[in-house]
Amino acid sequence: MIFSNPLLFFPLFLTLFPFTLGVTLPLVAPRVLTLLDSDKKLASDIIQFARTGYVDPVTIKLWKCGEPCDRVAPVYYEASGGNGNSAPNWFVLYWPAQNAIVINHQGTSPDKLGTVLIDLKISPRPLQIPPFNDISRGSPPDARVHTGFFGDYLTSANQIRVQVKSILKDGVTTPSGTKEMPDKIFVTGYSLGAAVAVLNALDLALSLPESIPVTAITIGTPKIGNKAFADWADKVLDPKRNIRIVNEKDIVPLLPPERNRIHKYILMRNGAFVTRGEKSHVLDLYFQSVLPATSMYERDLQSLIRGLRSDAAKKNESRFIAEVIDEIRKEIVSKDMDVKAGAVVKLIYLDMLGYDMSWASFHVVEVMSSQYFHLKCGGYLAAAQSFDQETDVLMLTTNLLKKDMASATHPDISASLNCLSHIVTPALAQDLSSDLIAMLNHSRPLIRKRAVLVLYKAFLRYPEALDRGYVRLREKLEDSDI
């Protein structure tokens, strides 16, 4: 796919090569923004929108572009423009999960000469050019910006501004007929699209009421203008409203170089999140850099809950649930354990609402076997909640439980013991009672306490184990730490 193409930065290199011979690129460090996991979840979602910038408008209208669309669905198309070449595509979308308008700008495409020519227009131009548009009002007279980036911004600025104001006034009518009133705006793009997105965000921040927060979340953003522009832009978009995802050794965010012999472009200093170690400009690697370990399934669960609470779901809950389960059936067979775990966690929630998840028992065991605790614990919770004495995959859990009960990591031990207390059968009690009895001497009082409680359940299912464990169990009941 185009968003995986490592050659995307090449046109920018060609743009700057004649001006940088013999000039060392300065590693001007931005003010680094620390992203919490909640911020990373949002950033990883927004990167999916940036990935869709290279998709044709017909596909975007249907929101059927594969993985990037699936990760943030549902999303509703509102408007688009551009020709994908001399005028890069832009999209205005409604994202129910955040109740937000999302504006996405296409970046450079090596196979589209028009986008390459935009990068080549490196000479600066004044920001204040009559007729004065919203972005130039209040900007310093000596502010200069990259001619190509600013020209791309101008081709879409008025249309986007009019469309956004219309949505904020009239709301968004979803396919189900409900009307939603967005309360925030995200503007995004990658590389060339990132530069245009920052200009677009500045425009909207200046032209909309302060009650509507405008946030630029951009990926691999090159330098846009001179120091006067950068200082002014940093004041308009504070660090929390201008989140720039930058791979530590990606050269593109350092271009054009500050010591360029002709034009002195500099970095905007505020709001950069630097991913350590990555040196590629490849968009997919940016996604992997910001994705927190748990973001996949937590995000999907939040989207499911929000969807269930929407007016559309309340009117036809059975249809909504049927669509969700169809989606889960596809996700749960994924080779990506994050995706599989996400499907299981959504099933846990649906099971609590009374929807059967017994059909997914084998996949629950797969998630239980994950090497990552944040995924494994979801599998254990699903088993504890949905397995019963007749579940046919229980025989597959014996060795898994043995392994985790003997783990050197006490969260693994606790999760396995908690699960076993719910799913123990005569066969499991017979196979694991010796392990449980041995755990009565564990160094951690909490583990000893859990082992006592699980042994009680095991003895009920397999009384013969009392011959081996009764005396030890009685001793531990008098343990002052328990």
Q: What is the pLDDT along the chain (482 residues), one digit of tens a residue?
A: 444 444 444 444 444 433 333 333 333 444 555 555 556 778 888 888 998 888 889 999 989 888 788 888 889 999 999 998 999 999 999 998 889 999 999 988 878 888 888 888 888 888 865 554 556 667 788 888 899 999 999 999 999 999 999 999 999 988 878 889 999 999 999 889 999 999 999 999 988 998 999 999 988 888 888 888 888 888 888 777 888 887 766 767 666 665 444 445 555 555 555 554 445 655 555 555 555 444 344 446 777 887 788 766 677 788 888 888 988 998 899 888 888 988 999 999 999 999 999 999 999 999 999 887 878 889 999 999 999 999 999 999 999 999 999 987 788 899 999 999 999 999 999 999 999 999 988 888 888 889 999 999 999 999 998 888 778 878 877 777 66
Cβ neighbors of 378 (< 8 A, separation 6 or more) are: 297, 341, 344, 345, 348, 367
pLDDT of the residue at 288: 54
Tell me how far apart the alpha carbons of residues 301 and 305 are, in angstroms, rounded to a whole number.
6
Could you give the C-alpha distances from 32 to 45, 190, 268, 321, 429, in angstroms and in order?
Answer: 20, 19, 11, 42, 54
The tokens for 458 are 């095991």
- The identity of residue 312, as a single letter, is A
What pLDDT is recorded for position 182?
94
Handedness of CA 124, 130, 133, 137 (dihedral sign): positive
CA distance 268 to 223: 7
For residues 180 and 94, is the Cβ–Cβ distance under 8 A?
A: yes
The three-point CA angle 369-370-372 to 5° equals 140
Q: How many CB atoms lie within 10 A of CB 247?
A: 23
Question: How far apart are alpha carbons 54 and 84 in whole angstroms?
Answer: 8
What pLDDT sits at residue 296? 42
pLDDT at 2 (0 to 100): 42
Main-chain dihedrals φ then ψ at residue 146, nearest 5 degrees: -60, 125
Q: How does strand 90-95 pair with strand 76-81? A: antiparallel
Angle between helix axes 410-423 and 426-438 (nearest 10 degrees) is 150
Calculate the alpha carbon distances from 75 to 68, 101, 132, 303, 313 in Å.
Answer: 11, 10, 34, 11, 15
Give CA–CA dist 268/146, Å, rounded.
14
Structure tokens given for 278: 């990555």
How far is CA 192 from its chain centroid? 21
Q: Record the tokens describing residue 79, joined without a space.
A: 């408007």
As to burial, measured by CB atoms within 10 angstroms (0-12 exposed, 13-18 middle, 19+ buried), residue 348 is buried
Distance CA 180, CA 146 (A): 37
For residue 215, give the 3-state DSSP assignment: strand
66: Cβ contacts below 8 Å, ≥ 6 apart = none
Tokens 């500099």, residue located = 266
Predicted pLDDT at 8: 47
Rounded to an integer, what distance in angstroms lies between the CA atom of residue 262 and that of residue 122?
10
The per-residue pLDDT for 97 is 85
CA distance 419 to 363: 16
